[in-house]
Every structure is written in structure tokens, then in C-alpha cells.
Amino acid sequence: MLDTVILIIKKEDIISLKFEKFGMTKGDLLSARGFKKWVNNPDSKEKAENGYMPRLTLIKRGLDISLKIEFSAPKMLFGNNVDELEEEEDFDTVITALKESLLKMGVLVAESKIKEATITSFHPSKNIVLTDGYTSSFAIKELAKVNLNRKLDFNETKFRNDGSSLQYYAKAHSLVIYDKIYDLPKPKSRAIDKDQTEKQLSLFDDARGLEKHLEILRMEVRLSQKKKMNLVLQKLGYQENPQFKDIFKKDLCQKIVKSYWDVMIADKGIFLFDTMSNPLRILQRAIKNNQRIRPKQAIYITGLEILCKDKGIRELRQTIDLIAKSKTWNRITKDIAKINAYDKDLNPHGFVKNIEKSLGTFESFRIKSYTLKQI
């Protein structure tokens, strides 16, 4: 449901603060001019003693003083982010766990102030179990065929870690799709999750062999800047400038993740994941869906579908752009839309059905509810 969160708590809402934990004194805070920040991040010893802990930054900007708290909500509660949170039963527990962790780091703040803390960034996400023999790597390879950059104003795409992750980036937001099981043992330099916990790394110790049979595709939307976060919330009908209690909601997280998925596949993309690969059958389908189509156009539509499915729309466009103007691609895009309109005749791969079902129900995943027999 929800993973990383960044909260801002004003200095006046903090009951007490041990300045030495931030490597400074109260005098340093009062005498600082302009912009200044002090960091309090847990070291390896503190992590070993206390488990997962947040990252803290005390910020002074002019006369304004605030505390930035960055943490993974599920890791705060479970010690891992494979298990997912429940809105009603877990919110107060997360608040209590965060308050206790802050106290160990020298910060005393009331639970009510944590609930009402301003949000500047958060990452709604979903762990999706793939079935019927589908693997995360296969799903990611297929999803990489979508040309998503211009649809959502992303400026960079990364297909990395031997095809186990797909990342669409912009400074303000990003969409990350990756193999959650494959990512668990990866070193920090290569992992998508840069903050693996000891508990997370030993997650399958009590069910050895389960990780070899369980395929978890993780879909994560990272709203990294407040302006973009507010635009997304406003578009989906939610209030801007939310507090922590406002974003710890199943329906909100569900709508955000699903909105990115809908843009990814609904706009001329679903046919890419159709299981039909026989050129003659594709030609017959083109004729069936347009009885007045001319033979030359039918062959063109067939070739266009095959090319899109082969390496993806983005790579096809890059090739066409070498020999034609953008207006040419705009015309081709309209023809791609015609292929996508054959939705009644399309039979998408099973992983697409897994994703749509999971995003439709948005039921929390818990590793303890799975056994080898269920996979």
C-alpha cells in the first residue's frame, strides 16, 4: 500500500530534542544564518540494536526550523517492505513504532503531531504475485516495450540488473517496476531498495525454498517532489498538502498506482502483451476488425503490430525518427491506436491479468500467508 514517506514536523511541535544526536548544540542552531541542516542517521550499531530506524534531518531556513523524517512505513512495523500494510489495523501501530524510534534518536514528539505531520513525498506501491509460470523478468521485459516517457513526462528510462527492473525517471516523480525477490540479496550499489534490513534479508529463513517458487512483481510510484505530489492528488480528487493521516489510505494509494498503470497500458499499449504471435493470424484479425481494409493497409497494420511487439514502441519510434519527421510518427500512432482497439480479440499474457486483479482488489500481501502449496 505505502512504502517510503517523508514527514515534516515544525520545531514548535517537538517536545524535546537532544542536539548532540545531530552533532551540534542549541547554540549552533540559534546562531546559524540562511540555510543550514544537521543529519541524524542510524549507524550499523544502532540498527543492530534497535532494528529499522528512520533518517532524520534538522533544517533551519531563515527563522523557520523543522525536522524532516524519512522512513519506510512497512519496515518500521515489519522490518521489511515485502509485507504490506493495512489501513485500519496498522496506522496507530506505525505511529507508535515511529514515536519510539524517534525517542531513541533523541527526539520526543506526541503521536498526534506525527499523524498531523506535513507530507512532502511518499511512495504508494503494490507487490503483485505472478501465477501460471509467469516470471517477473518476463513481465518486465514485456512492459519495457511501452513508450511511457512522453505520456508521463519522464526523461529517462532504465532497464537494468539483468532485466529485473524497469525504471522511468523524472526529477519530480518516477515509476519503478522490479523483481522484488531478485532484489532482496543484491548489494546496495545494485539493489533498487537501497535500505535492506537484516530482517528483510532473512525473510525466507522460516520457509526455505519459498523464494524459488514465489514471483513478486513490485510496482512503485515515487512522488519525489511536493508540487508533483499535489498535482497527482488534485487530479485524482484528493486534497493538496496532505498530512500523514491523509495518505495512509488504501483507496488513495490504489488510485495513484492504478492511474500510472492505466496510462501505461490503456493508451495504445495493451496489444503489446497479446499472446498472438503468428503473422498470418494477426493479418486475419486485422481484416476481421475492418472488413473494408485494403490488402496493402492490412499488411502494413500486421507489420506494425509485429514490430511493436518485437522490441517495443519506444525503440520503433527511435528508428523511424532517424528517417522521418515527427508528423510521420503522429500518423503511425493513430494506426497503433487502431490495433489497440481490437481489445475484444486480444488475449493478454497472464501477468497482465495478475497485475489488473491485484490493483483492482489492492489486498495487502503478507509472506506468512503463503506456503509452497499455494504457489
pLDDT value at residue 343: 65
φ, ψ dihedrals at 316, nearest 5°: -65, -45
Exposed e or buried b for every residue in 110-126, given b needs 16+ CB within 10 A?
Answer: eeebbbebebbbbbbbb
pLDDT value at residue 115: 98
Is the distance from CB of 68 to CB of 10 less than 8 angstroms?
no
φ, ψ dihedrals at 238, nearest 5°: -110, 160
HSE value, Cβ hemisphere, 13 Å, CA-based, for 62: 1
Is the distance from CB of 71 to CB of 104 less than 8 angstroms?
no
pLDDT value at residue 281: 94
pLDDT value at residue 213: 74
Segments of the chain with pLDDT less than 50? none
SS3 372: coil
Spatial distance between the Cα atoms of 98 and 214, rounded to a whole number of angstroms: 31
Helices (H), the chain: 26-31, 44-50, 73-78, 87-104, 111-115, 136-143, 180-183, 198-201, 210-213, 226-235, 244-247, 250-266, 279-288, 295-311, 313-321, 326-340, 350-361
Q: Which residues touch 80 (CB under 8 Å, ≥6 apart)? A: 74, 197, 199, 200, 203
Instruction: Tell me the C-alpha to C-alpha distance, in Å, between residue 122 and each of 74, 181, 189.
Output: 13, 22, 22
pLDDT value at residue 209: 60
DSSP string, 109-139: E-HHHHHTPEEEEEEEEEEEE--TT--HHHH
Query: Which grid cell sits at 219?
Result: 510496482
pLDDT value at residue 187: 75
pLDDT value at residue 226: 97
On whether the pTM is more than 0.85, the answer is yes
Q: Which residues touch 258 (CB under 8 Å, ≥6 apart)? A: 359, 360
Place of cell 494477426: 282
Is the distance from CB of 190 to CB of 70 less than 8 angstroms?
no
φ, ψ dihedrals at 311, nearest 5°: -120, -5
